[in-house]
């Protein structure tokens, strides 16, 4: 399986090796790569995911905003709330729920993001798909 990860500080993708576990889990990063209060985006087989570290707990959601596909890992993480950098929609990374809508309501509304289970195995963060 191909995995691309995108650090929130840059637009340039950084490719890493992925490890399949039980046919569903993908190693996306080491614990040390996503410190508390930070997040990272990943592309797995053409779909984007966001993994956020909220006070040592890892949470995963869809990586693109449900409004206009803003790259959420380029947004701002405040506690457990991620803000889309494009139009300002805010989501709870624990549940995927929309916390606040876009800044310009005439251009549509954001919808709840899908969430995914994250496991920590040793020093590895595993995204369970």
Tens digits of residue pLDDT in 3-51: 555 543 333 333 344 444 445 688 899 999 999 999 999 998 889 999 9
Indicate whether this model's pTM tops 0.85: no
In terms of Cβ atoms closer than 10 Å to its own Cβ (0-12, 13-18, 19+), residue 59 is buried
The pairing of beta strand 25-30 with beta strand 98-100 = unpaired
Q: How high is the pLDDT of residue 48?
A: 94
Q: Where are the domains of the chain?
A: 3-128
Tens digits of residue pLDDT in 69-121: 889 999 999 999 999 998 889 999 999 999 988 777 667 788 999 999 999 98
Q: How high is the pLDDT of residue 21?
A: 45
Compute CA 57 distance to the chain's CA centroid, rounded to the nearest angstrom. 13
Q: How high is the pLDDT of residue 107?
A: 72
Q: What is the CATH number of domain 3-128?
A: 2.102.10.10
Q: How high is the pLDDT of residue 105?
A: 67
Q: How far is CA 99 from CA 21, 82, 95, 123, in A?
A: 33, 9, 10, 31
Tell me if 18 sits within 8 A of 27, measured CB to CB.
yes
């Amino acid at each position: 399986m191909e995995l691309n990860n995108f650090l929130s500080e840059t637009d340039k993708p950084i490719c890493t090796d992925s490890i399949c576990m039980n046919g569903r889990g993908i190693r996306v990063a080491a614990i040390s790569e996503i410190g508390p209060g930070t997040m990272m985006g990943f592309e797995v087989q053409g779909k984007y995911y966001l993994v956020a570290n909220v006070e040592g707990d890892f949470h995963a959601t869809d990586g693109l905003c449900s409004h206009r596909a803003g790259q959420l890992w380029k947004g701002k993480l405040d506690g457990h709330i991620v803000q889309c950098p494009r139009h300002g929609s805010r989501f709870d990374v624990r549940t995927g729920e929309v916390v606040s809508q876009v800044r310009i309501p005439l251009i549509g509304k954001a919808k709840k993001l899908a969430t995914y289970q994250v496991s920590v195995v040793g020093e590895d963060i595993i995204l369970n798909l």
